[in-house]
Structure 1
Amino acid sequence: MTLVQRNRLPANCLGNSTYSSTIYRMRRQTWWRLPAVLMLISEWTQYIKSQEMTVFPPENIIIDDTGCLGPLYIHWTAPASLVNLTDCSMRYHLEYFNTYQNRWTVIRTVRTWYSAQFDLEKEVRVRISTLLRGACVNGTELMSPFTEIVIKPTLTGPVGSRIQNFECVFYQKQFMECTWMSGSEGPTHSQRSLHFWHQGMDRTEECPRYIYSNELRIGCTFSGKSLPEFTDLNICVNSSSSRVPLRPAFFSLQVQNHVKPAAIETLHLEAGPDRGLAVRWELPQDSIPSHCLEHEVEAREEGVDEQVLERNRTRMMSLTYSLTDGVLRQCFRVRSRVHWYCADRGFWSDWSNWSCYPDLSPGSESNALVICAIVISLILFMLILSLCGWALWKKWKGRQGKPALYCSLHKLMEYSKTIHVITK
C-alpha cells in the first residue's frame, strides 16, 4: 500500500493558530463586501454619466394678454435638444409672482401652456425650467436652469390721476355697489368708465348702471344675479377724457368676500329662572343662509352711577345674560356678518335698535291698561248674561204665568254705561 504524503509548510511559516484564523476572517469579510463595493462604483459611474447630460430650459416663451383685465396666457415649446427623447419623461416647473398674495406660486405641468391671474398695474414676473426623469438620466430627475421673463406695466397718465378709495359692497347678496373717488391730479370734470369680466362672460362689458354725483360717475351698481361666487371678477376703471390721459386702475375680487347682511329688526327679551335674561333675535328676509352668519351682541347696563359695555360673539340666534342687582335696565343690540366658513371676509351689518329690559316705553304701559280693561269688561258682560239667564230660568220654573223680564232694556243700558266707565 502506497501512502501519498502531503507537502507541509515548516512550522515557522504557519505561525500561531490565532494569526491564521484572523487572516481567514479578513478574507471572508472582504469577499462578502465585494458586491456592495461594486454596486457603489456602478452608481457613482451612472451619476457621473448623468451629470454629463445637459438639460435646457423651454424655448419660445410668450405671454399674451387675453383682454380679460387680468388673466394672461403663458405658452412655450420644449427645448429642441430634447424633442426626440423616448426613454425619459419631460415636464415643466413654472413659477409666477402672485402680487395679490405677495409670494411665488409654483406649478408643475406636462402641458406647454398655463393661464394665471395678474395685477396689470404691477410687474409680471414668470420663470420656467425643464424637468427630466427616466432612463436617459439613469433614474434620477434633473432640472434645467430657469428662464425668467419680466414685463413692466405700460400705464399712461400721472400717478395721481388714478381713482382712490375703490370699494365694493354686496348688499344682502342682492346687488353690489362699487364706488370710488377721483384722484388728486387730472381734469376736475373727467368722466370715468368701468369695465368688468368674469369666467362666465365671452367678452368684457361696461357697467350696467352708473352711480352719479354732480353729474359725475362715482360708482357702479351690479345685479346680484349676474355675479357668480368664488370666481374672480376683474374690474378696470379708466377715463374717457379726451384732453389728458388718466391712469387706469385694475381690481380683482370675489363677491362672496364683500357681503353686507341686512340689519336685524326684531329682538326678544325674556326673563327666565335664576335671574336669567334670554336675548333672542330674528333674521330678516334675506338670501344669506343662517349657518353662514355670525352675530355680535352688545349689552349695556344702565345703573345709577355708571354704564358698562360688553360685547359677545356667537353663531347661535340667542344668548343668555344675568340680571344685575342695582341696575335700572339692561339694553341690547345685535349685528351680523358672514362667517369665515362661507367667505374669507365680509362687512358687519348695521346695528339693530336698542331693546331694554324692563320695557319702560310710554306705549308699553298704555297697552297693558287697555288689555286689562278689555279683560275686565268681558268678565262683567259674561256675569250680567249669567244673572239674566238665571232669573229667567227661576221665573219659568215657578210657573207664575208669563215670566217678568228682570233684565229690561233699561237695565242693560245701565250695565253698558258702567262697562264704558270702567274701560275709561
Structure 2
Amino acid sequence: MLKSKTWQLTAILMLISDWSQCIKSQECTVDPPENIGIDDPGHLGPLYIHWTAPASLTNLTACSMRYHLEYFNTYQSRWTVIRTVRTWYRAQFDLEKEVRVRISTLLKGACTNGTELKSPFTEMVLPPNNTGPVGSRVQGFGCVFYQKEFMECTWETGLEEPTQSQYSLYFWHREMEQAEECPQYIHSNGVRTGCKFTEESLSEFSDFNICINSSSPEVVLRSAFFSLQIQNYVKPAAIETVHLEASPDRRLQVQWDLPNERIPRHCLEYEVEAREEGVGGQPLLQRNVTNEMTLTSLSMDGARRKCFRVRSRMHHYCADRGFWSDWSHWSCHSDTESDAVVGCAVVIGIIVSMLILSLFGWALWRKWKAREGEMMPFSPLHKLMEYSKGLSARSHFNKTRENQ
C-alpha cells in the first residue's frame, strides 16, 4: 500500500515537472473535453449540454480544471460565454435554427506554475428539424397578457396551409415537468387561430416556450417555436374615471382612479393627453408621461375649455416593455369667467345688431314714404294742399275787386 502511494506521488511530481518544463518552453498543450452531447428534454427550447473531462487529466490533482463553454444565442445573434467547473449546462435555444456549441478545457495551478492553459475547442453543431414547406408555418403570432389575469396568443394561417389541417399549441415553463397542450383554443370560422391561457397556467420572469405545429393528411407541416417573458406583454385595463378640480390660482388638478386589477400601482406609468379649446377656437393637444396618479395642469388663461384623458402601461422597473391600455373617456372643465365674458360679448353684439337693423329699417321707411308722396298726386295729402292753395287765391281775388 505504501509502495502504491509512493508511486502515485512520484507520478504526480513527474507530471508537475513535465508541465513546468513545457510551460517554460511554451510548448504545453491541454486536451479538450470529450464525449460532448446535446439532449432535448422536450421543453420546447432548453437543451441539456454535457461532456466529460479529458482522459489525460483524470488523475491530475495539483491543478484546478474548469471549462470554457460558448453557444450561439440566436435570439441575440451573438456568442454567449459560460465558465464552469461542472460538466453540464442547460441553455435556451431557438429550435427553428442551427444549434452551435463549443467547449475547451482551462487548467491552472501548481502544475502550470500559475499560468492558465486553454485547450482547443471541441465543437458540436445540430441542424434544425425544419420539415415541411416554409409557407406552411404560422404567421402573425402575438400575445397579450390582459391585466395580468389571462393571456391570449393568436396567429394567422400559413400561406401554403393545406385544407383539412388543424393547428395545435404546446407550451412549457420552469414550473412544469413536461409540455402541455393549450387549455382553451380560440376559433375563427371553425379553425384554431389562438389560445387563451388562464392565470394558473402562466409563470412570469421565466422562459415561456411555445410550439405551434399542424397536422394534415396531405403533408407534414412546419412547426413554429416562440419564447416569451410574459411580464413584457401586459396590457392594463382602461382607466374608468378622471377627476378635475380647479384651484384658486386658476390651475387644474387632474386625478384618476385605477380599475380593480392585479397590477401593483408602483408598476404603472401614465400618459395624460390634454386638449385645449382657446378663444380662437383652435384646439391644442399636449401629452405628459408621469409616474404619479395626479397631474397639475397649466393655467386656464386663454382657454375656455380643457379636456383630459389618461392611459397606463407597465413601468420599466417591472417589465422591459408592455402595451398601453385603452384611453379613458374625455373629462372636461370649462372656465366660467371666460364663458361669462364671452356671453356678455355675445349679448352686446346682439343688441348692437338689433339697433343697427332698426335704424336701417327706419331710414328705408322714410325714404319709401317720401317716394310714395311723389308718385301719388291724388293722394289725400296732395288734395288738401291743392285745396288750401285754391282758397288763398280766391281770397286774394275777392280783395282786389273790393278795392277797385
Could you say which TM-score interval applies, normalised by the shorter chain? 0.7 to 0.9
Matches within 5 A, 1:198-209: 198-209=173-184
Give 2:308's aligned residue. 332
Give 1:120's aligned residue. 95
CA contact (8 A) 2:252 2:300 kept: no
SS in 1 for 2:159: coil
| Distance in 1 between residues matched to 2:253 and 2:164, nearest whole Å | 55
- Residue 169 (str. 1) matches residue 144 (str. 2): yes
| Distance in 2 between residues matched to 1:263 and 1:221, nearest whole Å | 20
Matches within 5 A, 1:6-405: 48-49=23-24, 51-303=26-278, 304-358=280-334
| Distance in 2 between residues matched to 1:47 and 1:112, nearest whole Å | 27
Aligned AA (2:129):
T
Q: Kindly state the Cα deviation for residue 150 of structure 1 after the two structures are TM-superposed.
A: 1.6
| Distance in 2 between residues matched to 1:116 and 1:329, nearest whole Å | 58
Q: Kindly state the Cα deviation for residue 98 of structure 1 after the two structures are TM-superposed.
A: 1.1
- CA deviations on 1:236-274 (whole Å, 9 max, x unpaired) are 000021211111100011111111000000000000132
CA contact (8 A) 1:47 1:138 kept: no
SS in 1 for 2:48: strand
Q: Kindly state the Cα deviation for residue 189 of structure 1 after the two structures are TM-superposed.
A: 4.5
Q: Kindly state the Cα deviation for residue 103 of structure 1 after the two structures are TM-superposed.
A: 1.7
SS in 2 for 1:274: coil
| Distance in 2 between residues matched to 1:159 and 1:240, nearest whole Å | 15
Give 2:11's aligned residue. none
SS in 2 for 1:81: helix
- CA deviations on 1:201-241 (whole Å, 9 max, x unpaired) are 11111000000000000000001122111111110000021
Normalising by structure 1, we get a TM-score of 0.72
CA contact (8 A) 2:23 2:112 kept: no
SS in 2 for 1:160: helix
| Distance in 2 between residues matched to 1:124 and 1:51, nearest whole Å | 35
| Distance in 2 between residues matched to 1:359 and 1:129, nearest whole Å | 75
CA RMSD of aligned residues (A): 1.6
| Distance in 2 between residues matched to 1:238 and 1:228, nearest whole Å | 22
| Distance in 2 between residues matched to 1:64 and 1:113, nearest whole Å | 11
| Distance in 2 between residues matched to 1:213 and 1:224, nearest whole Å | 23
Aligned AA (2:186):
I
| Distance in 2 between residues matched to 1:112 and 1:154, nearest whole Å | 26
- CA deviations on 1:306-348 (whole Å, 9 max, x unpaired) are 1111110000001011233332311110000010100111111
Q: Kindly state the Cα deviation for residue 186 of structure 1 after the two structures are TM-superposed.
A: 2.3
SS in 1 for 2:232: helix
Aligned AA (2:57):
L
Q: Kindly state the Cα deviation for residue 47 of structure 1 after the two structures are TM-superposed.
A: 7.2
Q: Any unmatched runs of 5+ in structure 2?
A: 1-19, 337-404
Q: Kindly state the Cα deviation for residue 104 of structure 1 after the two structures are TM-superposed.
A: 1.4
| Distance in 2 between residues matched to 1:125 and 1:358, nearest whole Å | 66
| Distance in 2 between residues matched to 1:222 and 1:85, nearest whole Å | 53
- CA deviations on 1:114-164 (whole Å, 9 max, x unpaired) are 110000001111110000001111111111111222211011111111111
Aligned AA (1:251):
F
| Distance in 1 between residues matched to 2:219 and 2:234, nearest whole Å | 36
- Taking a change above 3 Å as real, the CA distance of residues 282 and 136 of structure 1, as seen in their structure-2 partners, is same
SS in 2 for 1:51: coil
Q: Kindly state the Cα deviation for residue 358 of structure 1 after the two structures are TM-superposed.
A: 2.2
Aligned AA (2:305):
R
SS in 1 for 2:249: helix
Aligned AA (2:118):
M
| Distance in 2 between residues matched to 1:119 and 1:231, nearest whole Å | 15
CA contact (8 A) 1:50 1:137 kept: no
Count how many residue pairs are aligned between Structure 1 and Structure 2. 316
| Distance in 2 between residues matched to 1:48 and 1:260, nearest whole Å | 61
| Distance in 1 between residues matched to 2:73 and 2:290, nearest whole Å | 35
| Distance in 1 between residues matched to 2:196 and 2:171, nearest whole Å | 12
- Taking a change above 3 Å as real, the CA distance of residues 359 and 222 of structure 1, as seen in their structure-2 partners, is farther
| Distance in 2 between residues matched to 1:73 and 1:246, nearest whole Å | 26
- Taking a change above 3 Å as real, the CA distance of residues 47 and 273 of structure 1, as seen in their structure-2 partners, is farther
SS in 2 for 1:273: coil
